[in-house]
Amino acid sequence: MSERVPVDVAVGVLFDSRGSFLLTSRPDGKVYAGYWEFPGGKLEANETVEQALRRELYEELGITIGPAVPWKTALVDYPHALVRLHFCKVHDWSGALEMREGQSAVWEALPVGVRPVLPGAVPVLGWLAEECGCEGATHGA
């Protein structure tokens, strides 16, 4: 049995001026369609995490981001792929959100009200809870 090679994915944790964060739904036709996640996408050859995140958020959401601050990394073993998620915090961007892939978007705070939450997003909610000293559930089952 061969070892699976991780797919590197850049993920943006975008915050608005009130401290809410952006979640988007996975569009129809993609694995885990309808699940809520932090937006981003796969790194292409020779791309840095920030370059990939900048490209993906423009392609998917129509926004141009400012600095993407590297935050955390997580390895998630999905049935379809082993994914290395590179999470970056983003506090500054320009443009209006456009759902270019037919997805939905919502600004959330803890505990998030949307469900289901993509398994790769669950650790992020825990990290956000740790940072704000929030206790209790971060999302619905």
* Tens digit of each residue's pLDDT (9 = 90 or more) over 26-35: 999 999 999 9
Is residue 62's pLDDT more than 90?
yes
Mean pLDDT for 115-135 is 96
* Average pLDDT over the chain, rounded to an integer: 96
Is residue 125's pLDDT more than 90?
yes
For residues 41 and 12, give the distance between their C-alpha atoms in angstroms, rounded to a whole number: 9
Please give the full DSSP string across 100-136, using - where no structure is assigned: TTS--EEEE-SSB--SPBPGGGHHHHHHHHHHHT--S
Is residue 128's pLDDT more than 60?
yes
Burial pattern 17-55, b for ≥16 Cβ within 10 A else e, equals: eeeebbbbbbeeeeeeeebbbbbbbebeeebebbebbbe
Mean pLDDT for 102-115 is 97
Q: How high is the pLDDT of residue 3?
A: 82
Q: How many CB atoms lie within 10 A of CB 141?
A: 6
Q: How high is the pLDDT of residue 140?
A: 86
3-state secondary structure of 64: strand
- Give the sign of the dihedral formed by CA 94, CA 60, CA 9, CA 140: positive
3-state secondary structure of 97: coil
Sequence ranges of the domains in the chain: 7-93+100-132
Q: How confident is the model at residue 17 (pLDDT cuts 50, 70, 90)?
A: very high
Mean pLDDT for 107-126 is 97
Secondary-structure class of domain 7-93+100-132 per CATH: alpha beta
Q: How confident is the model at residue 1 (pLDDT cuts 50, 70, 90)?
A: low
